[in-house]
Structure 1
Amino acid sequence: MKIALIGFGNAGSKVADEIFRYEQETGRSLSRYVVAINSARSDLAKLDEIPTDKQILIGQTDERVKGHGVGSDPELGAEVTRRDLQELERALDGVPVYDIDAFLLVAGLGGGTGSGGAPVLADRISEMFDEPVYGLGVLPSKDEGGRASFNAARSLQSFVDATNNLLLFDNDAWRGHQDTVEAGYERMNKEIAARIGTLLAAGNIDESEVSENVMDASDVRRTLDTGGISTVAYAETDLESETRQSQGLLGRFRGNGTGQETDTAKKISGLVRQAVQSRLTCPATVSSAERSLIVISGPPGEFSRKGLESARRWVEQQTASIEVLAGDDPRASANHVSAVVVLSNVTDVSRVDQLQEQAVDAADNIEDQASTREEDIERLIRDDEGRLDPL
């Protein structure tokens, strides 16, 4: 699938930067257009891969922003995005619509610029173009506090409504206990990039070999056409040394003995099960998915039609749905085999329920504090007997 990749806000731009890096490192050609949008000049300067001429600073004329960010205020983020929509529209004129299948708009939902501005831009893109707009939203961890949860719960509603499908990544599910904050985010961004890059590479015609089990952009689009929220499963396994030596040879794929073929089939089927049963990008009840898609990526000699069919039947059983598509992405030079499984339109997502509960509690605290704030201030600055008059 060929995309126009847009990073919005600090977290969204960093994730988009990592996806763009992953494409180049793995020889994939997915992003026909890439841009990073932010209200903080210093955050844009931290990007490594997205060129400076593809970085857009919004809110420069707003006296509350002036290149320093919106201070985790999503309403201000939405406001400056609407104000600068004409500039963003001019940038989008450069999108080669004849050569893309979809837009991918990436944003962190706990801050201000991305959580407020990304849904606004998604709406505008849908008005300007016929191609679907997919969102990739990053949920804040619980440690980031009530404000981040409050922002994310509100942004989530707007982002789902504004996109054809919203892929979720939950920081809480991926943050390592030993990670520093910076190292944790860097590692999580790499995890996101591997999953999204493997998913979108299916069916692309680049320097890779032609797929045996053909899958193209229409299969990805069909899976994500459900709308709602989706989560992505992923697992990989390194190649054995003897397999590395024979990379590029298709003999094993075409059958070098029933026993070997059976082993390969079990390996592929087991890899898909491992993916679904391990960490999803956002934890969800697998059986609540409406549609699913499986992509196997790696040297073609490691593929197995029987294994892929077995995996597809297993996912059908787990989701209680026959809407399961499966295909492969041959990469002759890859040093591992990976499986990515998209579970589209999941409706039982405990993390979203928890997020909403946190947000409601945060909203109640905000209201309680606001109702007593003026009285507290008066009590602080006035003397008890009222004998002192202000100057």
Structure 2
Amino acid sequence: MKIFLIGIGQGGGKIADLFLEYDRRTRHNCITRAIAINTARSDLLGLKNIPMEDRILIGESIVKGHGVGADNELGARVAAEDIYTIQSAIDQRGTHEIDAFLIVAGLGGGTGSGGAPVIARRLKKLYVEPVYGLGILPARDEGGLYSLNAARSLMTFVKEVDNLFLFDNEPWKKEGESLEDAYAFMNEEIVRRFGILFGAGESNEVGQVVVDAAEIINTLRGGGISTVGYAVEEVSKKKKGGLFKRVKRDKSSLETLDATTKITSLTRRAVMGRLTLSCDISSAERGLIVVAGPPEELSRKGIEKAKLWVEEMIRGTEVRGGDYPVPKSDYVAAVTVFSGVTDVPRIKELQELAVNAQKTIQEFDSKKEEKHESLWRDDIKPLF
């Protein structure tokens, strides 16, 4: 699937930058162009892989290249005022080969949280290709302001895209880990999952069960929120040579069974392990399975069995699936997508945190003026 990738804000830019590096290294060839958009010049300069001409500074007349300071209302305003600059940058880089847009943003900050929905709305108005979002939810310990920003952005972003993938930082943070290491680990996890998902269909190898852009688009149609699962297993190496090196033999039924079992097992682990957003997957409207690995490790029967199992899990019949041959790979991986999930306790919790944060801010603002006035004596005359 060919993607035009847009990273906005600090978190979105870093993920887009890493995604581009991963795409080049693995030769998935799913990213036709990647751009980073930010209000902070230093964040753009810190990227490593996106070319300088594809790093776009916005809001310079308002915030002078220093960012919006976690103010997502200001982030939305800046993006709206510079939307023609953003649109022109996208048009100049070409969109004729793409299957979809993907806008990546951290939802707890200011620029990405506020600007991502603005860009999505513009793209949907101008292009026929679907516009997807990938939003990163802040962990609880990142503070009430970030929860409030995320809740407000989420309510807006999900209405402006054709489908919104969510990655929740909360279950992925490790105790005692530095913030920098935590974000690096989580960004790698994000890129690995979406690299395989969007890379499906772009392989030069012919798979047994093809997954192409249409399969992904149909899975994500209807809007709402999606979550992604992932599991990987190293391929066992068989020694070559000796007496049997010249003997060509067919795979035994046991080997075929092993491949089938491996795929169904990987799919179960992908579904039952850590999803990008914890939820009750039985509330999903649609599902998709992509199994990537060496062609000899892939099994049509295994994929069909995995699809049937997922159909039972989500109580529906609209589950698609296929393989993604990656010659000479040392691993077999399964990626599962659940689209249109509605039973998501984490979103309810996030909104509760946001409401409490909003009340606290309002109470603080109402008392602030009184406290300031109490500092001064009434019997001293001010200058004016």
On whether the aligned pair clears a TM of 0.5, the verdict is yes
Counterpart of 1:97 in 2: which secondary structure? Answer: coil
**Deviation digits for residues 230-289 of structure 1 (CA, Å, limit 9, x no counterpart):** 0000000001121899xxxxx99x961111111111111000000110000011111011
Match of 1:248 in 2: none
Match of 2:244 in 1: none
Match of 1:312 in 2: 307
For residues 37 and 276 of structure 1, the distance between their equivalents in structure 2, rounded to whole angstroms, comes to: 33
Equivalent of 1:343, from 330, 338, 352? 338
For residues 301 and 94 of structure 1, the distance between their equivalents in structure 2, rounded to whole angstroms, comes to: 42
For residues 185 and 232 of structure 1, the distance between their equivalents in structure 2, rounded to whole angstroms, comes to: 18
**Deviation digits for residues 56-113 of structure 1 (CA, Å, limit 9, x no counterpart):** 0001111xx1000000000110111111111111101124332110000000000000
Q: Contact 1:255–1:261 at 8 Å: present in 2 too?
A: no
Q: How far apart are residue 336 of structure 1 and its match? A: 0.3
For residues 135 and 239 of structure 1, the distance between their equivalents in structure 2, rounded to whole angstroms, comes to: 33
Equivalent of 1:123, from 121, 133, 136? 121
Counterpart of 2:291 in 1: which secondary structure? Answer: strand
Match of 2:379 in 1: 387
1:46-65 matched pairs, under 5 angstroms:
46-62=46-62, 65=63
Equivalent of 1:210, from 206, 212, 217? 206
For residues 223 and 195 of structure 1, the distance between their equivalents in structure 2, rounded to whole angstroms, comes to: 16
Match of 1:10 in 2: 10
1:107-146 matched pairs, under 5 angstroms:
107-146=105-144
Equivalent of 1:96, from 77, 82, 94? 94
For residues 121 and 39 of structure 1, the distance between their equivalents in structure 2, rounded to whole angstroms, comes to: 14
**Deviation digits for residues 293-315 of structure 1 (CA, Å, limit 9, x no counterpart):** 00000001111111111111110
Measured at CA, do residues 345 and 243 of structure 1 come closer, stay the same or move farther in structure 2, by a change above 3 Å?
farther
For residues 295 and 326 of structure 1, the distance between their equivalents in structure 2, rounded to whole angstroms, comes to: 6
For residues 154 and 301 of structure 1, the distance between their equivalents in structure 2, rounded to whole angstroms, comes to: 47
Counterpart of 2:292 in 1: which secondary structure? Answer: strand
Moved over 3 A (4+): none
Q: Contact 1:244–1:335 at 8 Å: present in 2 too?
A: no
One-letter code of the match for 1:301? E
Q: Contact 1:294–1:325 at 8 Å: present in 2 too?
A: yes
One-letter code of the match for 2:230? Y
Match status 1:375 vs 2:370:
yes
Q: RMSD of the alignment, in Å?
A: 1.6
One-letter code of the match for 1:389? K
Counterpart of 1:167 in 2: which secondary structure? Answer: strand
**Deviation digits for residues 197-235 of structure 1 (CA, Å, limit 9, x no counterpart):** 00011112x4x3111101210000000002100000000
Match of 1:239 in 2: 235
Q: Contact 1:150–1:359 at 8 Å: present in 2 too?
A: yes
One-letter code of the match for 2:200? A
Match of 1:275 in 2: 270
1:79-94 matched pairs, under 5 angstroms:
79-94=77-92
Q: How far apart are residue 373 of structure 1 and its match? A: 1.4
For residues 176 and 27 of structure 1, the distance between their equivalents in structure 2, rounded to whole angstroms, comes to: 31
Q: How far apart are residue 178 of structure 1 and its match? A: 3.3
For residues 95 and 80 of structure 1, the distance between their equivalents in structure 2, rounded to whole angstroms, comes to: 22
For residues 222 and 229 of structure 2, the distance between their equivalents in structure 1, rounded to whole angstroms, comes to: 18
One-letter code of the match for 1:286? I
Measured at CA, do residues 79 and 243 of structure 1 come closer, stay the same or move farther in structure 2, by a change above 3 Å?
farther
What TM-score comes out, normalization by structure 2 length? Answer: 0.96
Consecutive unaligned residues of structure 2, counting only runs of 5 or more, are: 242-246
Q: How far apart are residue 143 of structure 1 and its match? A: 0.8
One-letter code of the match for 1:126? K
For residues 244 and 234 of structure 1, the distance between their equivalents in structure 2, rounded to whole angstroms, comes to: 31
Match status 1:148 vs 2:141:
no
Counterpart of 1:209 in 2: which secondary structure? Answer: coil
Q: How far apart are residue 176 of structure 1 and its match? A: 1.4
For residues 321 and 255 of structure 1, the distance between their equivalents in structure 2, rounded to whole angstroms, comes to: 37
- Per mean C-alpha deviation after superposition, the further-off stretch among 82-91 and 165-174 is 82-91
One-letter code of the match for 1:347? T
One-letter code of the match for 1:242? K
For residues 125 and 250 of structure 2, the distance between their equivalents in structure 1, rounded to whole angstroms, comes to: 51
Match status 1:323 vs 2:321:
no
Counterpart of 2:186 in 1: which secondary structure? Answer: helix
What TM-score comes out, normalization by structure 1 length? Answer: 0.94
Match of 1:227 in 2: 223
Match status 1:353 vs 2:348:
yes
* Equivalences, count: 378
For residues 55 and 98 of structure 1, the distance between their equivalents in structure 2, rounded to whole angstroms, comes to: 21
Match of 1:25 in 2: 25
Match status 1:332 vs 2:331:
no
Match status 1:196 vs 2:194:
yes
Q: Contact 2:291–2:324 at 8 Å: present in 1 too?
A: yes
Consecutive unaligned residues of structure 1, counting only runs of 5 or more, are: 246-250
One-letter code of the match for 1:282? L
Counterpart of 1:70 in 2: which secondary structure? Answer: coil
One-letter code of the match for 2:234? D
Counterpart of 1:213 in 2: which secondary structure? Answer: coil
- Per mean C-alpha deviation after superposition, the further-off stretch among 236-245 and 80-89 is 236-245
For residues 224 and 240 of structure 2, the distance between their equivalents in structure 1, rounded to whole angstroms, comes to: 41
One-letter code of the match for 1:55? R
Measured at CA, do residues 68 and 267 of structure 1 come closer, stay the same or move farther in structure 2, by a change above 3 Å?
same
For residues 219 and 176 of structure 2, the distance between their equivalents in structure 1, rounded to whole angstroms, comes to: 36
